[in-house]
Amino acid sequence: MSQPGFLQRLKFHFFNFYPPYFGAGIKVKALNKERTLFSTTMKLTPFNKNYVGTQFGGSLYSMCDPFYMLILMEHLGPGYLVWDKAATIRFLKPGEGTVRAEFYIPREKIQEIKEETDRKRKMDVTFTAQILDVKTGKLIAEVDKVIYVRKKLKE
């Protein structure tokens, strides 16, 4: 796959202006050249603070929502249907400051998913993202994402 040009990279940075992300203070900080890794951050602000003064759980989940699906969609292309199927979040510590998360799927894993989907026509694949406190490096939450992948039928 060719490296993304300016317009391709710009498309992904528009997430920073997507109203649910903008309102919660979620920033897409990085997209690597291979388009296999996203990085997000979220500062604690009055707009994402819960009743007890820590990161709102819904905002923590939102910063993890679409990225595994987007990576697979980008690499598998239009011949595959890719959907978020399920998610689980485990809150481990309160988010009391800026938090970050990374979403990475190695090219080899993407190829395995493509080959298995081609054989079976459909599959579920699970990824786990960690949300970390930027200052301390402590684990705040873990998010499991189940992604449904299906080879599209020829029309």
Percent of the chain with pLDDT over 90: 74
Structural domains in the chain (count): 1
Distances (CA, A) of 15 to 27, 51, 88, 108, 143: 8, 27, 22, 27, 20
Residue 42 included in any domain: yes
d(CA 110, CA 56): 32
Residue with tokens 């989907």: 117
Average pLDDT of the chain, as a whole number: 90
- Structure-token pair, residue 140: 């705040």
Minimum mean pLDDT range among 16-20, 47-51, 92-96 = 16-20
d(CA 44, CA 25): 8
**Whether the predicted pLDDT of 51 surpasses 60:** yes
pLDDT at 19: 83
Residue 37 included in any domain: yes
Residue 30 included in any domain: yes
Residue 6 included in any domain: no
Residue 10 included in any domain: no
d(CA 12, CA 18): 10
Give the three-class secondary structure for 95: coil
- Structure-token pair, residue 135: 């200052």
Residue 16 included in any domain: no
**Whether the predicted pLDDT of 97 surpasses 60:** yes
Minimum mean pLDDT range among 33-37, 47-51, 108-112 = 33-37
In this structure, what CATH number is given to the domain that contains residue 29? 3.10.129.10
Residue 4 included in any domain: no
Domain boundaries, position 129: 21-151
d(CA 149, CA 114): 9
Residue 15 included in any domain: no
Say what the pTM is: 0.88
d(CA 28, CA 24): 12
Average pLDDT over residues 89-114: 97
